[in-house]
Amino acid sequence: MNVFDSGFAKYSLALVLLLPVAASAAVIFPKVTNTNDTGSGSLRAAITAANANGPDGAIISFDIGSSCGPHVIHLNTALPDLAQEVHIEGYTQPGASKNTLDSFVQNNATICIVLAGDNNVDDALAVSASVADAMEMSVQGVAFSGFTHAALNLRGGSNHGVAGVRTGGNLGGFALQTVSYGVILAAGVHGATVGGTDPGDFNQFGDITHNAVYVASSNASNPAAHGNTIQNNIIGYVTDSSGIQVALPTVGAGIVVGGYNNSILDNDILHAGASGLHISNLDAHGNLVEFNGFTENTGDGVLIDDDAHDNTLIGNGIFSNAGAGVRIVTGQNNEILYNNIDFNTGLGIDLAGAGVTPNDNDSMQPVPDYANRGQNFPTLTAAVGGHTGTVSGTLTTTPGDYYINLAGTTTCNASGNGAGQNYFSYPLSTAGFKVTVPNITAQGQGSISFTIPVTLVVNTGTNKLYVTATAVSSTGNTSEFSPCLLYPNDSIFFDGFE
């Protein structure tokens, strides 16, 4: 079920079709009519009723007066854990409305319901770890303030939905206090969606003291969180009531992933106090990181370590981070394709120890699980430029199929090695320009020379343009960027009138 698009329709139809049976056999619709911590009409009473209703669940709506407020529900103690299916619909409050802007720069959602942890309350909303695997919850149109652990601590169940929620900033005159974690997807949780594809699903996470989204690794009784989608979340800033963007950083990494087969899509992460995204440990594999922005974070744009492996980064924008664009400390088969990586303080891609890892004999792995096995980068030897041109070079590594990916930059790293953006188009085969290192080796390695025809698709004007390259093995091991090579770039001929 898509809880955001069809939840009400599903349950309304279910009620129509139900024959007269015991009340516990039908979904219930408790309504929150006041901001009291306890008693009739409170959120606590609504959750208690939902838990008592059994697996048929509940849809909780809000009708606290006739105006938006915001209406702040001050919690003196933790709410009951969510133990049965429940959907908390904050946008049902009169005056509330979803965001309609398909933009990270602006967000016009009107959120009217705030949960506030005034008395050292750990979690705002929590799913019990002991629930059935099929138990699902959703929440939308709610803001969170002042919880010492998490706004949403999802310790069990599956197919949860979190959309249109917010932490941080000023909401209609109410200052939202810091929250430790935005959303925790604990071990065993799968199929959850944090955010979504519709503008109304976009979450805003600011003023987080740990991580906006934390995807857990395995524990003694459950596998790592897996098969979840984290999409279109705005992390590191919020839009205030006047529509102005306000930077509200996350102290730790923006998103932490310790699980497998998760999709991290279309998020915008900046101002994190560590890396924008941290993928860590052996459980972290098969994750897809696509079309995100990682900008101006205190650490690396993306950090992969502790033997995380077989992850794919494709089509991301990774700019102006204080560390590397992508740092892989340990772990292999981490594929880095077609990303725009530039203007970071560290290397564009940094394998193993900090700084350039020189090319060596790729047939001799220095230590177990060495970062992307220390895949050698290409050596570029010539560039003949203009609107169309060629880039030539050599790759020396173990025999097999490899893919060369080119990038362009107007500024090279102080090391002389590059990073870059998608300035060029060139013939592609799967993961780049395919070359095959022949099985004619010296000390376990062979070499292949290549010449790639290129078309310059971005005009740098009067700025010099440098070309750099990575090599990607057939298993996904991606090298650091090669040293820069000047690409002759005459803007007079950019439109092809040589």
pLDDT band at 19 (very low <50, low <70, confident <90, very high): very low
What is the pLDDT at residue 233?
Answer: 97
Per the structure, the complete domain to which residue 33 belongs is given by: 3-298
In a domain, 352, yes or no: no
Q: What is the DSSP string of 320-363?
A: S-SS-SEEESB-S--EEES-EEES-SS-SEEESSSS------TT
| Residue where a domain terminates, one of 298, 323, 348 | 298
What is the pLDDT at residue 25?
Answer: 53
Tell me, yes or no, whether 91 and 229 share the same domain. Answer: yes
In a domain, 273, yes or no: yes
Instruction: Please check the confidence at residue 429 and state whether its pLDDT lies above 90.
Output: no
Instruction: Please check the confidence at residue 494 and state whether its pLDDT lies above 60.
Output: no
In a domain, 11, yes or no: yes
What is the pLDDT at residue 491?
Answer: 53
Instruction: Please check the confidence at residue 20 and state whether its pLDDT lies above 80.
Output: no
Say what the pTM is: 0.93
In a domain, 134, yes or no: yes
In a domain, 208, yes or no: yes
What is the pLDDT at residue 498?
Answer: 46
What is the pLDDT at residue 119?
Answer: 81
Answer for the pair 326, 340: CB distance below 8 angstroms, yes or no.
no
Tell me, yes or no, whether 231 and 130 share the same domain. Answer: yes
The residue-averaged pLDDT of 82-104 equals 95
Cα–Cα dist 166/171, whole Å? 9
Average pLDDT, the chain: 91
Between 271 and 21, whose confidence is greater? 271
The per-residue pLDDT for range 264-315, each reduced to its tens digit, is: 999 999 999 999 999 999 999 999 999 999 999 999 999 999 999 999 999 9
In a domain, 498, yes or no: no
**Domain holding 377: CATH number?**
2.60.40
In a domain, 129, yes or no: yes
| Residue where a domain terminates, one of 298, 321, 349 | 298
Q: Hey, is 49 helix, strand or coil?
A: helix
pLDDT > 70 fraction of the chain, expressed in percent and rounded:
93
* Residue 109: closest CA among 234, 209, 211: 234
Cα–Cα dist 115/429, whole Å? 51
What is the pLDDT at residue 490?
Answer: 63
Cα–Cα dist 152/233, whole Å? 15
Residue spans of beta strands (DSSP E) within 99-197: 113-117, 123-127, 137-140, 142-145, 150-154, 161-163, 166-167, 169-171, 174-176, 181-185, 193-195
Between 413 and 51, whose confidence is greater? 51
Q: In what order do the strands lie in the sheet with 71-75?
A: 71-75, 113-117, 142-145, 166-167, 203-205, 233-235, 268-270, 293-295, 317-319, 340-342
| Residue where a domain terminates, one of 298, 323, 345 | 298
- For the chain, report the end-to-end CA distance as a whole number of angstroms: 57
Tell me, yes or no, whether 291 and 388 share the same domain. Answer: no
Q: Which of 90-94, 148-152, 228-232, 361-365 shows the lowest mean pLDDT across its residues?
A: 361-365
pLDDT band at 6 (very low <50, low <70, confident <90, very high): very low
Q: Is 19 exposed, middle or buried (0-12, 13-18, 19+ CB in 10 A)?
A: exposed
Tell me, yes or no, whether 284 and 392 share the same domain. Answer: no
pLDDT > 90 fraction of the chain, expressed in percent and rounded:
81
Q: What domain count does the chain have? A: 2
In a domain, 348, yes or no: no
Tell me, yes or no, whether 56 and 205 share the same domain. Answer: yes
What is the pLDDT at residue 329?
Answer: 98
Instruction: Please check the confidence at residue 16 and state whether its pLDDT lies above 90.
Output: no
The per-residue pLDDT for range 197-233, each reduced to its tens digit, is: 999 999 999 999 999 999 999 999 999 999 999 999 9
Residue spans of beta strands (DSSP E) within 343-419: 349-351, 379-384, 388-397, 400-409
Tell me, yes or no, whether 55 and 199 share the same domain. Answer: yes
The per-residue pLDDT for range 117-145, each reduced to its tens digit, is: 988 999 999 999 999 999 999 999 999 99
Q: Which of 81-95, 313-327, 482-496 shows the lowest mean pLDDT across its residues?
A: 482-496
Q: Is 183 exposed, middle or buried (0-12, 13-18, 19+ CB in 10 A)?
A: buried
Instruction: Please check the confidence at residue 15 and state whether its pLDDT lies above 70.
Output: no
